[in-house]
Structure 1
Amino acid sequence: MIFSFTATPDFDFMTYFARHIQATVQNGLLTIPDHLGQGYIRKLVFGQDFKITIHRYCLKEDLILNRNTSGQGNDLITVFFYNNEQALEIDYNDDTQVLFSQRDESAIQVTSNDLNSTIRFPAHQTVHYVVVAIKPRRLQELLVGCEPNSVLKTITGSGNSFLFFERMEAETKLLLKNMGAVDMNDPLSHFYMQIKVQELLYLVFHKLSLRESAAHQMINSADAERLLYIRNEIISDLSVPPVIRELAQIAAMSETKLKQLFKQTFGTTIYTYYQQARMEEAAFLLKQGKHSVGEVGYELGFSNLSHFSRLFEKHYGLSPKRYSYS
């Protein structure tokens, strides 16, 4: 199933999606028809400039969401939380779809309203994701009293094009889980959810506020697509360190531009991102219990197992052997 829409500032996803699948919306709830699958989409509105849409369903066919920009400006901030073990495919330029989540790495995406995107959700798998849409002025009100770094200034500013990714920590995963379990028949549920959505935003923007302040580089859909492709190249073979020169050629960017945009978007350098992904893959393999420490180290390109153990312990606070038994 393909659903294409144009992201105008006043666009309401649930209303138009309900028409697309010939369903009805009652009290902010869209129940997925039986012939398409099971589950629901719920929308909560906290004013004309602040809302949350909660998606939880399992469909009988792939769902492809094509989001097109309206050309009417980008006075809207979208925060996307994808909380599934399964990978999703995402692209920003109608080109090559790239796996975004891997293993248990969930995704948080903060983007302006002027980037095209296509996301594919696989059939026969439970999909759970949350989208918070907020206008810059409302976000500024929530952030009042803080000293914003360059990232927060970019997000709350006017006319900026941006794309930021963050990993989802355990605290955010738990909060999303608890929000999904709220009894919406409770007369105070709307009030409670508004508090929890603000807590959700706090966790995201707190992490973004810790990023290094640097001049913001404008980004477009083509740049975003190339960055995701480069990210995929980095994690496709974790036994081989990334070579910036080769990645820049693949991305058709200068080395300087690639390094700047990658760090701006993912919050870390290319090599640090590679090392983090390496350690996360090591942790996954060790937890399976099917591989020895040596086998994991060698598979990830470490010829010196002592070096592997030191890096792993620095990342997780435990040696690989102790971690595998924890």
Structure 2
Amino acid sequence: MENTEPYKLYANVEEPHKAFKKLAEEQNGSWNGEELQVHNDLFDLNLISYHYMDGLYVEFSNMATREPTYLIHEPHGDKHFIIIRIGFTGSYGKNQNTRKFNHDGIFIYNSNQQLDIEYPVQSNNHWMIIRFPITDYQKIDRDPSFKLKKLFEDKSPWFQYYSLDPEIESYVKEVHTISENISRRRMVFFSRAIDILAALKDKMETDEIHVPKANIHPEDLKSMLLIKDQMLFDFTVLPNLDDISKEHGMSISKLNRLFKSVYKLPVLQFFNQHKLEEAHRHIKYSDKSLTEIAFDLGFSNLGHMSRSFKSYFGYSPSYLRSSLQQQSA
């Protein structure tokens, strides 16, 4: 009888390198203290991880799954750790623009939060992960007044989502690019992790990130993460609240309430915001025309995309494209 149970990867927040060594042994892979490689019938996994200070880890991974797989993060009550998980999926070239499952975004949570992340069949996922004990963060930034530190020091379970904006995405892509350069990547991983922390601090101080108002049950959080990933899979299809609520066994009012508690926006506003951010990525990283991008993302026409884009970013798609062309020249 065929096994339909998903494979489960269990996170070890305090000592992730021990978990990588164990995974290599179980899955006939290799781990040399910095790089993990596993290639089998379940998945292809390539991961680079560095350990700094007392307990700061920065890693970058690429995982292509052949079978359903879950990453399980269980509450860790002994020590207080923070995890920043930044995901992006797919590519933006003319011939490789399929996004089977959208993990794009910044997921911030502490070691007491139960969290399950699904890697569906035939998905290709990139993650940059920064994890550290609160004591390490207190050594890096001693200012007691800012909001990010107050959030980090909260020991009750919490989860925070933030969209992958151009600034932080550029740091992650630099880590991705340098990952093949063995002589430089250790220093670049560390410096870009610090840049990301500084950017998150600034965004929270200007209220671009909001501290969660309430805890959410792990099963409800799991549903909201799945809804988000599936909803952003195809930007040409407007989310149908009735269909989503029925699929997940909840009323539309509960769906809206839970979704807004996690993502701070109603479902449709969240979808439209990410659609514009996706347009920004395509303009920046692909050679497709603006008309092609508007069509691929389901805008009614280029004018519709341009008006919405300028209203959100403060400049037009054509201005962004011309600015990038001037920089490259």
* TM-score category, normalised to shorter length: 0.5 to 0.7
Q: Alignment partner of 2:129: what SS?
A: strand
Matched, 1:314 2:311: yes
1:111 aligns with one of 102, 109, 112: 109
- Identify if the C-alpha distance between structure 1 residues 168 and 222 changes in structure 2 by more than 3 Å, giving closer, same or farther: same
**Whole-Å Cα distance in 2 between the matches of residues 64 and 297 of structure 1?**
29
Matched, 1:277 2:282: no
- Identify if the C-alpha distance between structure 1 residues 74 and 268 changes in structure 2 by more than 3 Å, giving closer, same or farther: farther
- Identify if the C-alpha distance between structure 1 residues 320 and 230 changes in structure 2 by more than 3 Å, giving closer, same or farther: farther
**8 Å contact kept, 1:179–1:196:** no
Map 1:187-206 to 2 at 5 A.
190-191=186-187, 193-206=189-202
Shift of 1:282: 6.2
- Identify if the C-alpha distance between structure 1 residues 86 and 72 changes in structure 2 by more than 3 Å, giving closer, same or farther: farther
**8 Å contact kept, 1:37–1:58:** yes
**Whole-Å Cα distance in 1 between the matches of residues 14 and 79 of structure 2?**
8
Q: Which residue of 1 aligns with 2:130?
A: 132
1:23 aligns with one of 14, 29, 50: 29
Q: Which amino acid aligns with 1:47?
A: M
Q: Which residue of 2 aligns with 1:174?
A: 173
Shift of 1:51: 1.0
Shift of 1:138: 1.8
TM-score, scaled to structure 1: 0.68
Q: Which residue of 2 aligns with 1:75?
A: 80
Shift of 1:136: 1.9
Q: Alignment partner of 2:163: what SS?
A: strand
Deviations 1:227-264 (A, max 9, x none): 23553676567675877x997786747948944x5445
**Whole-Å Cα distance in 1 between the matches of residues 212 and 117 of structure 2?**
28
**8 Å contact kept, 1:63–1:121:** yes
Map 1:1-326 to 2 at 5 A.
2-5=7-10, 7=12, 9-10=14-15, 12-32=18-38, 40-56=46-62, 61-62=66-67, 64-70=69-75, 72=77, 75-85=80-90, 99-101=101-103, 106-113=104-111, 114-120=113-119, 123=122, 127-145=125-143, 147-149=145-147, 152-169=149-166, 170-184=169-183, 190-191=186-187, 193-210=189-206, 211=208, 213=210, 216-231=213-228, 235=232, 252=250, 255=253, 258-259=256-257, 262-263=259-260, 265-280=262-277, 288-289=288-289, 296=295, 300=299, 309-316=306-313, 317-318=315-316
- Identify if the C-alpha distance between structure 1 residues 127 and 273 changes in structure 2 by more than 3 Å, giving closer, same or farther: closer
CA RMSD of aligned residues (A): 4.6
Q: Which amino acid aligns with 1:16?
A: K
**Whole-Å Cα distance in 1 between the matches of residues 218 and 10 of structure 2?**
16
Q: Which residue of 2 aligns with 1:94?
A: none
Deviations 1:256-293 (A, max 9, x none): 8944x544533545443233234356676997559689
Q: Alignment partner of 1:83: what SS?
A: strand
With 66-75 and 164-173 compared, the bigger mean Cα shift is at 66-75
Q: Alignment partner of 1:167: what SS?
A: coil
- Identify if the C-alpha distance between structure 1 residues 306 and 133 changes in structure 2 by more than 3 Å, giving closer, same or farther: closer
- Identify if the C-alpha distance between structure 1 residues 255 and 6 changes in structure 2 by more than 3 Å, giving closer, same or farther: same
Shift of 1:14: 1.0
**Whole-Å Cα distance in 1 between the matches of residues 79 and 249 of structure 2?**
26
TM-score, scaled to structure 2: 0.67
Residue ranges of structure 2 left out of the alignment (5+ in a row): 1-5, 93-99
**8 Å contact kept, 1:6–1:70:** no
**Whole-Å Cα distance in 2 between the matches of residues 292 and 194 of structure 1?**
38
Residue ranges of structure 1 left out of the alignment (5+ in a row): 88-97
**Whole-Å Cα distance in 2 between the matches of residues 34 and 251 of structure 1?**
35
Residues paired across the two proteins, number: 301
- Identify if the C-alpha distance between structure 1 residues 181 and 203 changes in structure 2 by more than 3 Å, giving closer, same or farther: farther
Shift of 1:148: 2.0
Deviations 1:191-224 (A, max 9, x none): 5543333223323443344336566211231221
